[in-house]
Amino acid sequence: MERALLSNVIATSDWCANQLLPRISPSFLSRHRHTRFTVAKPAYFSYKRLSVFLAMDASKAAPAKQVSSVLDATAEEEYASLSKLLQDFTNISSIDKAWTFNSGNGNGTQAMFSISQPNLLANKRKKFMLSTVISKENENSVTFQWAPFPVEMTGASAVVPSPSGSKLLVVRNPENESPIQFELWSQSQLEKEFHVPQTVHGSVYADGWFEGISWNSDETLIAYVAEEPSPSKPTFSLGSTKGGSSDKDCNSWKGQGDWEEDWGETYAGKRQPSLFVININSGEVQAVKGIPKSLSVGQVVWAPLNEGLHQYLVFVGWSSETRKLGIKYCYNRPCALYAVRVSLYKSEASELELKESSSEDLPVVNLTESISSAFFPRFSPDGKFLVFLSAKSSVDSGAHSATDSLHRIDWPTDGNFSSLEKIVDVIPVVQCAEGDCFPGLYSSSILSNPWLSDGCTMLLSSIWGSSQVIISVNVSSGELLRITPAESNFSWSLLTLDGDNIIAVSSSPVDVPQVKYGYFVGKANKGTWSWLNVSSPISRCPEKVKSLLSSRQFSIMKIPVKGVSANLTKVYLRGSLGFGEEALQSLPGKVGSQDVNDVLTAIDHVIDMGLANPSKVTVVGGSHGGFLTTHLIGQAPDKFVAAAARNPLCNLALMVGTTDIPDWCYVESYGSKGKDSFTESPSVEDLTRFHSKSPISHISKVKTPTIFLLGAQDLRVPVSNGLQYARALREKGVETKVIVFPNDVHGIERPQSDFESFLNIGLWFKKYCK
């Protein structure tokens, strides 16, 4: 197994992130799929959101006491010190997106960065925009001239520049039944503002999954995904309306109407994602017709303009003819690319306008019928082909996130889809990677414009082993290159392109995010990519944080696992992304045994190397990492001095009837064959197997003091799972602490909850690592 070796790490996240900050408070990734083993002094392993802290130095803290309303002077001082340190780490900004624009005067490029930061007092994440001018003075030097201050984007749900960079769309979703606001900005002012009432549609989706906002080529129309209008509800009355009560009948009320399925975790109460187009000249909004009611739509893009006055929209559709299973972090939900025609006409000003058409005139075409998954559609610059990702391996196996593949369709520019040619595999699924070779594609997003100037090379971020890297892919030849430094153990995220140059961000468990500028040196096929550090105010942090991190270091370790098949002898992190499909698919059906043994093997290895004190090992994990945490303290009861679990899965037999992903219980328990045996009414045999795979089956052996952090609104692993396990521990006399956050979902992401959660974890570990 590959692990990262650290020295004296202060704190870390239990979520395995490609931009992992050395902080207690985590950034919960959109794809939620990174897995990493790490060792530190104090050290940690991270396996599917699991962290095992291995302390070397004796704690200098006074005998810790559980934090309560009454604290002695020493404990109160320690609490305040940890709280201040955690605030310093929490205040480090995250870089979310970036865009570049031509300056118009030939003097460099203008860029805009979207950054965010937790606001503990407001209990929200603040969003900012920070502008800069990029000047590439020579081949080995680039200058970013940053604006003196960022601008807060209060209330902005989405920000999308037009293709030319001359306009900026800002969408503001209300927190009540007020209209949705569409603002159109030029370089100097607000040009137009439209308010779309809830009777037309609900909030615009800006979640990174169903989200899709796309400008057409002449920048007059914008396609987007929003909640369908609220259905009418029945009215119940006790009598006739009295005079003088015309505004509201005091003798009647609105009923609830029929219950409708939603897409589970984080989508509770949100209505069906539907497709709309707005004319930015008139403000007219139309629902796109012809899309079956059974399809939830997302990720819409305009197809290249063809001859005539017909233009197509391409979107991703998820069918929901039966139950909608949870979709957040679940790439195993079947989906396809569809094309729908939008009829246009030329106005007197020779601008394209929307034309009313019946749904019968606009049939929807399934472009990817031969493959079970297709998403993130992107057209080549010349419009000749359409490229997309597929999670076919996830759909076919039932694993929530498996090895991706990349595909291409030659686009029929005449609109004749009957002549659509077969899907071309650009990057197939890699079953088993040898050594440090390409392990397969693991990509959580694609830039809206990922293309280099040759028109056929696109750039992607992808997990490669224990890190995230940036790769280039020629979609015509299939040639693939890793363009971030091979010797770097940092994780890299692609932000945007500056012509044929790259703006990215890199980080590590002991390094805050750093902006990087990449450029190609040499001739095509014979050159290399070079990277420059960019001085940025975004990466600045308090001196105490700098001082603490400057003495820390990390590296990657390989720890052989016993009992693997001959094909997996060189695969060290079974069940994780970044090591090939065979290694990943080895885990379903073996959860609670293979993963537990791998973690214990890694712990023993670093203890044998003298890197960890066996009397000071603690474990923390969330979600499936919480599943591993509670398994570990049951199967290795003498290994850990303390444990912490955030929304842990402790009992599959209980979870299967309450979660938004009951199919997962079958796949994890039975392997890929569980996908076909999934039913909403599990048998006695199923429930028995679920129990045997669960941490609760080992609870009689647990003696590790454990703290539980639970989100009361969690639909993925409902709060009853953690509470049942915690109550069982208390019943048998194990010291237990439970904190329930009433308004948090699975990720416990609200800033105040996240802060309180990790502060208490830190105090809990200090108490038992004395």
Torsion of CA 179, 180, 186, 187, to 10 degrees: 110
Q: Measured between alpha carbons, how far is 699 from 626 in angstroms, rounded to an integer?
A: 14
Token pair recorded at residue 340: 């729908």
What confidence score (pLDDT) does residue 362 get?
Answer: 65
In the predicted structure, residue 657 carries a pLDDT above the cut 70: yes
Placement of tokens 């940690």 in the chain: 44
Average per-residue pLDDT in the chain? 86
Three-state SS at 368: coil
Q: Are 211 and 261 in contact (CB under 8 A)?
A: no
For the stretch 175-198, pLDDT in tens is 888 999 999 999 889 999 999 999
Token pair recorded at residue 616: 């000071």
Q: How far from chain centre, in Å, is Cα 650?
A: 24
In the predicted structure, residue 424 carries a pLDDT above the cut 90: yes
Q: Are 72 and 36 in contact (CB under 8 A)?
A: no
Lowest-confidence pick of 339-343, 615-619, 679-683, 746-750: 339-343
Q: What is the CA radius of gyration of the chain?
A: 27
Beta strands in 559-640 (DSSP E): 617-622
511-516 mean pLDDT: 93
Give me the sign of the Cα torsion angle 325, 627, 124, 98. negative
Which pLDDT band, with edges at 50, 70 and 90, does 354 fall under? Answer: low
In the predicted structure, residue 49 carries a pLDDT above the cut 80: no
Residue 18 Cα distances to 22, 52, 607, 627, 656, angstroms: 12, 18, 26, 22, 30
What confidence score (pLDDT) does residue 233 get?
Answer: 87
Q: Measured between alpha carbons, how far is 555 from 4 in angstroms, rounded to an integer?
A: 5
Q: Measured between alpha carbons, how far is 651 from 8 in angstroms, rounded to an integer?
A: 35
Token pair recorded at residue 307: 């001859």
In the predicted structure, residue 509 carries a pLDDT above the cut 80: yes
What confidence score (pLDDT) does residue 238 get?
Answer: 85
For the stretch 271-292, pLDDT in tens is 999 999 999 999 999 999 999 9
671: region left, alpha or beta (phi > 0 left; psi from -120 to 50 alpha): left
Residues catalogued as catalytic? 623, 714, 746
What confidence score (pLDDT) does residue 307 get?
Answer: 64
Q: Are 582 and 565 in contact (CB under 8 A)?
A: no
For the stretch 118-136, pLDDT in tens is 999 999 999 999 999 999 8
Backbone angles phi, psi at 639, to 5 degrees: -90, -30
210: region left, alpha or beta (phi > 0 left; psi from -120 to 50 alpha): alpha
Q: Measured between alpha carbons, how far is 564 from 545 in angstroms, rounded to an integer?
A: 41
- Longest Cα separation, the chain: 86
Strands 365-366 and 375-379: unpaired
In the predicted structure, residue 521 carries a pLDDT above the cut 70: yes
Give me the sign of the Cα torsion angle 653, 659, 661, 663. positive
The answer, as to whether pTM is greater than 0.95, is no
Q: Measured between alpha carbons, how far is 405 from 375 in angstroms, rounded to an integer?
A: 11
Q: Measured between alpha carbons, how far is 246 from 87 in angstroms, rounded to an integer?
A: 53
What confidence score (pLDDT) does residue 208 get?
Answer: 82
Backbone angles phi, psi at 664, to 5 degrees: -60, -35
For the stretch 431-489, pLDDT in tens is 998 888 999 999 999 999 999 999 999 999 999 999 999 999 999 999 999 999 998 89
Instruction: Name which of 43, 92, 230 is nearest 611 in CA terms.
Output: 43
Q: Are 585 and 674 in contact (CB under 8 A)?
A: no
Q: Are 297 and 317 in contact (CB under 8 A)?
A: yes
Which pLDDT band, with edges at 50, 70 and 90, does 230 fall under? Answer: confident
Which pLDDT band, with edges at 50, 70 and 90, does 668 fall under? Answer: very high
In the predicted structure, residue 9 carries a pLDDT above the cut 70: no
714-743 mean pLDDT: 97
Instruction: Look at 352 and 329; give whichever has higher pLDDT.
Output: 329
For the stretch 547-594, pLDDT in tens is 999 888 888 888 887 666 555 444 458 899 999 999 999 999 999 999
